[in-house]
Structures are given as C-alpha cells and as structure tokens.
Amino acid sequence: MGDITQTREPRRGLTFEDVWAAMMETDKKFQEMAQQFKETDRRFKETDRKMKETDRKIGELGNRFGELAEHLVTPNITEKFRALRYSFTKAGPDVVFLSGDGTFLAEVDVWLENGEFAMAVEVKSKLRKEHVDDHYKRMDVLRAYLDERNDTRKLLGAIAGAIVPPELRNYVLKKGFYLIEQSGDTVKIEPPAGFEPRIW
C-alpha cells in the first residue's frame, strides 16, 4: 500500500472584496440601529408630549373643581357665619393683595369683612396638609398688610374643602381655622364645643 499524501489548499488571505463586503454589512447594521434609535427617540418625544398634555388637562380640571368649590362656598358663607354671630357685610372671591409698589403679596379665594372682623377663606376641592400650612403662612402676610394700613380689625382664617380627609379635620382646627365642608348643595360650619378661632 502506497503512502497517501493529503494536500491542503493554501489559506487564502482576505481580499479587498471580502473587506468591502464586511464593511458594507457593518454599515448596514449601523444604519438600522440609527433608524431604531430615531424611532425610539420619536416615541419618547411623543410620550413626553402626551404626558404634558395630560398634565395640562388635569391642571385645568383641578382649576375647574376649585372654581366650582368657590362658587359653592361664596353664596352661602355669610349666612353660615351669621349663625356663628359674624355679620359680614362684604364678601368677595379672588381678592389679590399688593404692596404699595404693586408687588404681589397674597391671593385669597374668598375675603369676608365688616367693621370689626376680616376673614380669609382658602377653598380647595380636595384638602391636603400643605394647603393648611400655606394658608397659615398667608395669614401672617395679610396681618402685616393690614397693620401697614393701620387696619386694626381682627383677622380670622377659614378653610373650605369639597373633600376633607378625616385626619385633616383636627389639624385645621388646631391651627385655629374655621372648617367649612360641603354638605349637599351648600356648606356647613360646625366648630366643636370649646373651639376658639385664632385671631391674627
């Protein structure tokens, strides 16, 4: 038996055509990836636009609820406080307070007044703790505003809510505010026995 000699085909190096084909394939993949990135970016931008539009609509809805709550409170509020021996002769919604040079100081949802008392009422569709805290700070600003004008009337505060979580009722009262709650198509003010409102 004779020797069998195996012959191997010599290894062929990469040709220009091989390199060019590989580069074209890589370029094609990069272009596909770039297109995918563009599409992803477009979707993110579209999602962001939709979220901003949703936020805007929710904001508008919240404003409408606030306006509705104010319209519910204002017509009945003087009558309700008369039952608590406050005879307010003037009631106005959305009262803005400015300094002497026109700088904004505060805005009050409902402002009540007579010769002895003034009252600032904050109205919310759904009351939160920060609303109470913000109104408490606002009362100091209003007191300073009245003092600068030698207005010595007693300043009172109240908070009205279409929805008042039970845990916030005591918090509002502890801050010295009257609590005004929705009751059917009107409002109710029922301070507990012994309640003393804070006078600023």
Mean pLDDT of all residues belonging to the chain = 83
Look up residue 67 and give its two tokens.
Answer: 């306006």
Q: What is the pLDDT of residues 78-125, one digit of tens each?
A: 888 998 999 999 988 889 999 989 999 999 999 999 999 999 999 988
- Most confidently modeled of 13-27, 44-58, 66-80, 164-178? 164-178
Contact at 8 Å (CB) between 157 and 135?
yes
pLDDT at 54: 63
Grade residue 75 by pLDDT with cuts at 50, 70 and 90.
low
In the predicted model, what is the mean pLDDT of residues 37-66? 66
| Tokens, residue 178 | 């009257």
- pLDDT of 150 > 70? The answer is yes
- pLDDT for the residue numbered 152: 96
Range of lowest pLDDT (15-29, 67-81, 177-191): 67-81
Summarize the confidence of residues 25-51 as an average pLDDT.
Answer: 80
Residues 6+ apart with CB under 8 A from 81: 88, 112, 119, 189
Query: Cα separation of 88 and 90, whole Å?
Result: 6
Residue 165: count other Cβ atoms within 10 Å of its Cβ. 12
126: left (phi over 0), alpha (psi -120 to 50) or beta: beta
The pLDDT value recorded for residue 163 is 86
pLDDT at 65 over 60: no
Decide if pLDDT at 196 tops 60.
yes
Average pLDDT over residues 157-165: 90
In the predicted structure, residue 6 carries a pLDDT above the cut 70:
no
Tokens matching residue 116: 């002895």
- In this predicted structure, what is the pLDDT of residue 73? 60
Mean of pLDDT values over 37-42: 80
pTM of the model: 0.64
**Average pLDDT for 161-178:** 92
The residues that bridge with 189 in the sheet, in sequence order, are 180
Mean pLDDT of 165-173: 93
Fold of 73-189: Trna Endonuclease; Chain: A, domain 1 (3.40.1350)
pLDDT number for residue 67: 56
Q: Judging by DSSP bridges, how do beta strands 154-163 and 178-183 pair with one another?
A: parallel
